Amino acid sequence: MTTTFPTAKTRRLPLVTYVLAAGVFLMGTTEFIVAGILPEIATDLGTSVAGAGLMITIFALGMIVGTPTVSILTLKLPRRLTLSLALVVFAVGHVIVALSSNLTIILGARFLTALATGAFWAVAAVVGAKAAGAAAASRALGVVLGGGMLANVVGVPLGAFAGQVIGWRGPFWILACLALVGAVAVYRLVAEDPVSGPTPSVRAELASMRDSRVWLVLAGCAMVCGSSLAAYTFISPLLTENTGLAAAAVPLVLMAYGVGAFIGSTLGGHFGSHRPYPALFISAGMTFLVLGALFLFSHFAVVAVVLIFLLGLFGMATNPILIGKAVSYAGQAPTLASALSTSAFNLGTAVGSWMAGFALESALGASGPVLVGAGVAALYFLPLLVLFRKDPRERRPEEER
């Protein structure tokens, strides 16, 4: 099977883009499904909500450590084999979680699952960008990453609902089964690696990281996720304690966040192909303002729900733009840059959720994680401004490029 590489004038993205988006959908669902069923998990395991929240933190840590490591170790494997194996390991990790009542074992399984997820995300980003071609790379990444955002619209709310109805272990069984089906589909539908082109090389991958702009992008990736996901990790106690919503309403609010995230990622990928910096700065500013407003007005149900929708819309809009820039700056050896982008996103998630856990148990209560997110959002402007100054080509009018 061969992959068609679109020209700049081609509007239709190749089929592989949507196949990868489906895999990312599963990965996105498992990463954040815990946020919607934290109280149920905590009660069943006999731990605190903050303790159960370690399932998110340890997952993020696994992606931080595992994504670049696994990507380098599998560099010479065919990319479709790497993607399929990642889905199989993903399924195994979910089975372990579903069978265990020991928090330590569960955290270990979440770490294993994160290794697979990180490898899949990194390779999927490279395959998706290369298959679409340079002119449509940002748009293709918007669709691929949109699978993760769609997970917040459909996967996470449905998983939270299922967890409340059939028990929190049920969604993990379902995800394991879907991952095995996905492994077969990905292997059959993702194109074989081209026989021509540069040979994968660890040295070339490391050399591609010499561009300081790559590291500025990575700093931005960490702060983007650290801001929005510090609040999102503990959205359930915010809604039930501050806003006064019933636990049964939490999946619906998660769906609102997911709708915003899906729209934001799609639009971010679209505008990132043409006007990346306006999109980055507008999204950064609005994320900060939304988090500040949520801290102040979380006791008003309608306002809180609208703000959570806007948090998804603006908080996730920059992800495809940032990954696209990292892959672009890395040139012909983009796998490590893509992997480190995923690691950076999850570094932000881990640090943000860790700090948010302390804030949750402070005098600030359920509002604490939101304040942590707003503080991180303010810091995001630092690497973004430096990157803008180092990238004068992007500041010239489009017709001059």
With beta carbons less than 8 A apart as the criterion, state whether 42 and 105 touch: no
CATH 2.60.40.650 is the classification of domain 15-192+200-400? no
| Alpha-carbon gap, residue 140 to 5, rounded angstroms | 12
Share of the chain above pLDDT 70, in %: 90
- SS3 category, 220: helix
Q: Indicate the average pLDDT of the chain.
A: 82
Q: Would you state the pLDDT for residue 89?
A: 93
| Alpha-carbon gap, residue 86 to 104, rounded angstroms | 22
| Alpha-carbon gap, residue 35 to 369, rounded angstroms | 13
Of 382 and 334, more confident: 382
With beta carbons less than 8 A apart as the criterion, state whether 288 and 374 touch: yes
Least confident of 40-44, 143-147, 229-233: 143-147
Domain boundaries, the chain: 15-192+200-400
- Residues 228-244: what's their mean pLDDT? 85
| Alpha-carbon gap, residue 347 to 57, rounded angstroms | 9
- For 261-287, the pLDDT digits (tens) are 888 887 887 777 778 888 899 999 999
- For 105-142, the pLDDT digits (tens) are 999 999 999 988 888 887 887 787 776 666 666 677 77
* DSSP secondary structure letter of residue 363: T
With beta carbons less than 8 A apart as the criterion, state whether 211 and 337 touch: no
Instruction: Name, of 33-37, 66-70, 172-176, the range with top average pLDDT.
Output: 172-176
- Residues 240-247: what's their mean pLDDT? 85
Classify residue 198 as exposed, middle or buried by CB count within 10 Å of its CB (0-12, 13-18, 19+): exposed
The size of the chain, in residues, is 401
- SS3 category, 157: helix
* DSSP secondary structure letter of residue 190: S
